[in-house]
Amino acid sequence: MKELLKKLVLCYGPAGNEEVIRDCIIEEIKDFVDDIKVDVLGNLIAVKRGVGKKVMLAAHMDQIGFMVTHIDEKGFIRFSRVGGIFVQNSINSKVVFRDGLVGVVSYESEIEDIKDIKLDKMYIDVGTNNREETEKLVKIGDVAVYSSGFAESNGRYIAQAMDDRAGCALLIETAKRLKSSPHEVYFVFTVQEELGVRGAKTSAYALDPHIGIAIDVTLTGDTPKSKLMAVKMGAGPAIKVKDVLIMAHPKVKELMITRAREAGVPYQMEILEAGGTDAGAIHLTRKGIPSGVLSIPTRYVHSDCEMIDSGDMENGVKLLLKILEEEIEF
């Protein structure tokens, strides 16, 4: 799964610009599913046909980014954020545009206190000398993404866009290993999650599944003087209890716990006090869809060095496989 994950996190795909990452995922999954389609907003929907329950698994393929809004006389680029870009994570970080153009994010240096830096006081330097040179390379509306590359350290993976390419990798791996399921399983790679779980809304509406499970990253409380949170990296995939957008459906939550125990997969319960996932959109669709979330504990979320544990990924796949292989009784 490491090579797959590496490939996915190095793919370009900020929210609203999921073409490249979508093509990459299609290549990876096409031999393991019965049908693939792309909907109006750009969600990738891959299905393994079956006669049982319609199960929607959703991982978002978009990542956060920096959108060009203005190019100044000297060629520096002003930007707006696409999703949750934060000042403290952006200062002097390397970013890359779709075509490979590299830039550095920095700030107006007359600002003395780091607390006074706002995104609109920041810019991207692509090494050009004037507006004309920059305009040949980028235009307003182009989006850059973090670009720190992929690394492994002590069984942990480090890269930009683990949120939520880790979820995408988990879904692809599950599709590859799933031999048979009594269910009709939809592997949905959604768009624009980072802009407000938008792709999940339309795809869930179209599929109208019996159950929805989002696979996404979550925060941890296991670093020095971190905010209080029970989730630890490496302690197994997390089963969501609640976040800002959802109270996980009790039956889905119980199903996940039961199958984790049966499969001997370590797991932990998760309560996330900030943020939400695609399940937030799915569960409110149409007449209501029982939904839950399988989370991958992740440190430094929305930075260019998000860290996850390889064991959590492996156990995440095992848990999903167990859920899909057994009956779902509701």
Rounded-to-integer distance, Cα 285 and Cα 290, Å? 10
Residue pair 269/239 in contact (Cβ under 8 Å)? The answer is yes
For the segment 191-220, give every residue that binds another protein (CB under 8 A): 192, 195, 198, 201-202, 205-206
Q: Which of 15, 59, 211, 293 binds another protein (CB under 8 A)?
A: 15
| Max intra-chain CA distance, the chain | 64
Q: How many residues bind another protein (CB under 8 A)?
A: 24
- Give kind and range of the element (H or E) at residue 189: strand 184-190
By beta-carbon proximity to another protein, the closer residue of 32 and 205 is 205
- The CB-of-93 to another protein minimum distance in angstroms stands at 20
Is the sign of the CA dihedral 206, 212, 214, 219 positive or negative? positive
By beta-carbon proximity to another protein, the closer residue of 42 and 316 is 42
Residue 135 designated active-site? no
- The CB-of-98 to another protein minimum distance in angstroms stands at 12
By beta-carbon proximity to another protein, the closer residue of 169 and 246 is 246
Residue pair 91/105 in contact (Cβ under 8 Å)? The answer is yes
The verdict on 120 binding another protein (CB under 8 A) reads yes
Q: Which of 180, 170, 154, 256 is nearest to 212 (CA)?
A: 256
Q: Which of 115, 20, 32 is nearest to 62 (CA)?
A: 20
Cis before 164 (ω within 30): yes
The verdict on 298 binding another protein (CB under 8 A) reads no
Q: Which of 114, 140, 151, 271 binds another protein (CB under 8 A)?
A: 140
Catalytic residue among 28, 173, 193, 194: 193
A 10 A CB-CB count for 241 gives 17
For the segment 27-46, give every residue that binds another protein (CB under 8 A): 39-41, 43
For the segment 174-193, give every residue that binds another protein (CB under 8 A): 192
By beta-carbon proximity to another protein, the closer residue of 198 and 249 is 198
Q: How many CA atoms lie within 13 A of 196 on its CB side?
A: 0
The verdict on 70 binding another protein (CB under 8 A) reads yes
Q: Which of 58, 324, 322 is nearest to 182 (CA)?
A: 324
Name the one residue in this structure whose structure tokens are 């992740």: 298
The verdict on 72 binding another protein (CB under 8 A) reads yes
Which residues make up the interface to another protein (CB under 8 A)? Answer: 15-16, 39-41, 43, 67, 69-70, 72, 78, 80, 82, 120, 139-141, 192, 195, 198, 201-202, 205-206
* Residues carrying an active site annotation: 193
